Amino acid sequence: MMVEAVTNGLKRLADLRQLLLDMERDFGLDGLPEQETRLLYAVAIQTRTKSEVSLAELQAHPLTTDISRSTFFRALKHLAECGYIEKTSVEKRAGYKLLK
Check the CA dihedral 98-42-74-87 and report its sign. Answer: positive
Query: Do 42 and 77 belong to one domain?
Result: yes
Are 99 and 85 part of one and the same domain?
A: yes
Q: What is the pTM of this model?
A: 0.87
| Same structural domain, 58 and 74 | yes
Which residues constitute the domain of residue 47? Answer: 32-100
For the stretch 19-75, pLDDT in tens is 999 999 999 999 999 999 999 999 999 999 999 999 999 999 999 999 999 999 999
C-alpha to C-alpha distance for 79 and 29, rounded to whole angstroms: 11
Residues 40 and 89 in one domain: yes
Query: Are residues 40 and 55 both part of a single domain?
Result: yes
Does 16 share its domain with 41?
A: no
Looking at the structure, do residues 41 and 85 belong to the same domain, yes or no?
A: yes
> Do residues 40 and 77 both lie within one domain?
yes
Q: Are residues 39 and 1 in the same domain?
A: no
DSSP H stretches of helix in the chain: 2-26, 34-46, 55-60, 69-81
Q: Tell me: do 36 and 49 sit in the same domain.
A: yes
Is the model's pLDDT at 100 over the cut of 80? no
